[in-house]
Chain A
Amino acid sequence: MEVNANAFGRNARKALLDKALQVALGRTTERFLAHRDAAVAAFPEFEGTRERASRIKLDVLDHLDTYLLRFIEEAEKRGAIVHVARDAAQAREIATRIARDEGVTLAVKSKSMASEEISFNEALQGAGVTVVESDLGEFIIQLAGEAPSHIIAPAVHKSRQEISSLFERHLGGPRTDSIPELVGMARRHLRAKFLSAGMGVSGGNFLVADTGSVVLVTNEGNGRLGTVLPRTHLAVVGIEKVIPRMSDLPTFLRLLPRSATGQAISSYVSIVTGTRRAGDPEGPERMHILLLDCGRSAILEGKYREILKCVRCAACLNVCPVYQSVGGHAYGWVYSGPIGAVLTPLLVGLAEAVALPDASTLCGACADVCPVKIPLPDFLLELRSDIREQGLKTPGEIAAMKGYAGVMQRAGLLEAIERIAGVLGQFFTKGKGIGGLPYPFSGWTERRDFPAPAALPFRKQWKIRRGVTR
């Protein structure tokens, strides 16, 4: 996917003016959050489970190579073919080769954010393979020619009316605003695709090292249908999704649906272990697993390695006041919200996404809800310092910060400025707020007043009072 993260400011302003988007965003994030909070409140073991999940993931990061090798060995033992892609270009090459070798012309795909990283659909379509998204949200935005704006609710930005129009245009049939009827239209359209597709493509929520299994957590059942009906199953998964043992899976299954949608468990949990064996009633005859590095092993070596603990639940998006205000597209790449503000610069390069670490008030709400305890605000702050160290700050900003620090270290200078500001402030504002400051404060005072400086600065008052009382 093309990176447009440095246009965050412009895209955010556009999003703020989009009334339909604002309504959709508010409704969805609040519903997810309310359900999440209720689910966590009803699950007293949440804290302990979170702690355990975090520890398991840290262990995975410490021994990622070992667990990956084990996963590959176990998966191949059970008939799967495992591929590893260093970067997006290589991943596209492997994916198209698989489709060609398997003689696929139509593929049905269940939701996968990792596949967005490598522009999977575009690559396969370029090679003559039709890819149909089968997750309802993904299906909607595929019809609209858009990218997902939320990790688990990709069409969160779309209103019911927009979806009605899209379906009317692309699927034919009478226009309807009824949700069950819209779902029915999508189901009928997709059912035919499932039955004729040569390949089912999925992501993977977890890779289980000791059994070689790919675990899919879904609510629509499209993931399961796509992995059992077509002859070939291709799973596209980031290397960090590996967990050591099948016995670790329940820990994560207790956390992921609760954090994502507030469900105690998702409607479907599919554990795909190898190809169909003799006597199996269903399952793919051929199974490929495409493991994506795409910048992950570089992250593993550095100070942000804990970001690789992420299970993509999107709780940090739902709770983030910035995400709630602007939605996912403003972030300009695959991942949005706090996780996107950290992960995007790390995966696409800091220079391509300098705007993102600043797209947060560092309020800390994300860290409160993260089910694997990723210190997201600390990472955002750390990235801001990397931006400065790598010379990516504008000269104006550097000068402003230096000037500020310079004044703040000189009490006499600060007092002089306070005195002058006090006199000028009282004279010009007559004690009222200041309504129009020059750039870079102009945006601030567009809809807010800045308080007029006090006639007598605090430090002066303090001195006088101490003088009086002593």
Chain B
Amino acid sequence: MARKFLFSFPDDGPIVTPSGSCAAMVKHGYPVLFRDEPPMLARARAVGERIYELSQYLVDVLGVTDPKSDFSGTVTYHDSCHLRRGLGVVSAPRKLLRAVPGVEFIEMEESDRCCGFGGVFSLKNPQISCKMTERKVERILATGASYVTSGDLGCLLNIGGLISRIGYPVKAIHLAEILAGKTAGKGDAG
């Protein structure tokens, strides 16, 4: 899959993904996968240089200060582990959220604590995973926000899944949906 990915995009220009863990995998994981194959390693490194998570690309590369979104609502933000620790993206999504006039942004406690997804972890250890997700959702609910957003689809799938099951009055949506505005997305993500 990694091999295929490395040849799936044009040879120059940025590659933007709405998921921090995907970008982190390409940037940090691929060079490990191809450490014994110098030509592929070079390619993995080159592609890794060009890959960005969405908010990182918008703020750090394009310098967007006004996303021009008409989204409105109270929003809290969950730091995806791979986006925050893997790519060091902390302020970009917050800057974007604060720049949307209709968004009231509320920080949650422990925003950088893992939500419990962890890919295969949540299949192999679903009870531990859920325990972690419950704590995350408690922190989300404590903010009173109507929306929780993040820069990672895995986290949103997981957090949104628990919210949906219990029927909590909060919705997990992707940052891109907020940036697109209230008319654009009906919130399939999460």
Q: Which A residues contact B (CB, under 8 angstroms)?
A: 9, 12-13, 16, 321-322, 325-326, 358-365, 367-368, 378, 381, 405, 408-409, 432-433, 435, 440-441, 443-451, 454
Contact = CB atoms under 8 A, between A and B. Distances in A.
A38 B124 CA distance: 35
Which of B81, B82, B116, B128 has the most CB atoms of chain A within a 10 A radius of its CB?
B128
A441 B119 CA distance: 12
A443 B161 CA distance: 13
A395 B116 CA distance: 26
A408 B165 contact: no
B125 A358 contact: yes
Given A321-B114, A443-B123, 12 more contacts: A16-B128, A321-B135, A322-B125, A358-B121, A360-B121, A361-B118, A363-B81, A364-B86, A443-B126, A446-B126, A450-B157, A454-B188
Nearest to A8: B125
A381 B120 CA distance: 12
B85 A444 contact: no
B125 A9 contact: yes
Interface of B: 1, 4, 29, 32, 81-82, 85-86, 113-114, 116-133, 135, 157-158, 160-162, 164-165, 188-190
Contacts of A381: 29, 32
Nearest to B161: A448
Contacts of B122: 361, 444
A398 to B, nearest CB: 13
Contact of A321 (B29, B82, B116, B119): B116
A342 to B, nearest CB: 16
B78 to A, nearest CB: 12
A364 B157 CA distance: 20
B165 A449 contact: yes
Which of B32, B125, B133, B190 has the most CB atoms of chain A within a 10 A radius of its CB?
B125
A448 B165 contact: yes
B157 A451 contact: yes
7 contacts: A321-B113, A321-B135, A326-B128, A359-B121, A378-B32, A381-B29, A448-B162
B128 A449 contact: no
| Those 9 A-B pairs whose CB atoms lie nearest each other, nearest first | A361-B118, A443-B126, A448-B161, A363-B114, A364-B85, A363-B81, A449-B164, A433-B164, A325-B131
A444 B133 CA distance: 11
A365 B165 contact: no
Contacts of A449: 160-162, 164-165
Contacts of A435: 165
Contact of B121 (A361, A365, A433): A361
A98 to B, nearest CB: 42
Given A361-B117, A433-B165, A454-B188, A443 B127 contact: yes
Contacts of A9: 124-125
Contacts of B127: 12-13, 16, 443
A383 to B, nearest CB: 13
A445 B131 CA distance: 13
Contacts of B4: 408-409
Nearest to B189: A451
Nearest to B190: A451
Contacts of A13: 127
Contacts of A16: 127-128, 131
Contacts of A361: 81, 114, 116-119, 121-122, 129, 132
A358 B126 CA distance: 12
A325 B132 contact: yes
A415 to B, nearest CB: 15
Which of B1, B86, B162 has the most CB atoms of chain A within a 10 A radius of its CB?
B1
Contacts of A358: 120-121, 124-125
Nearest to B28: A378
Contacts of B130: 446-448
Contacts of A440: 123
B37 to A, nearest CB: 15
B188 A322 contact: no
Nearest to A22: B131
Nearest to B162: A448
Contacts of A405: 1
Nearest to B154: A361
A9 B190 CA distance: 27
A274 to B, nearest CB: 45
A363 B161 contact: no
A359 B165 contact: no
A454 B128 CA distance: 29
Contacts of B124: 9, 358
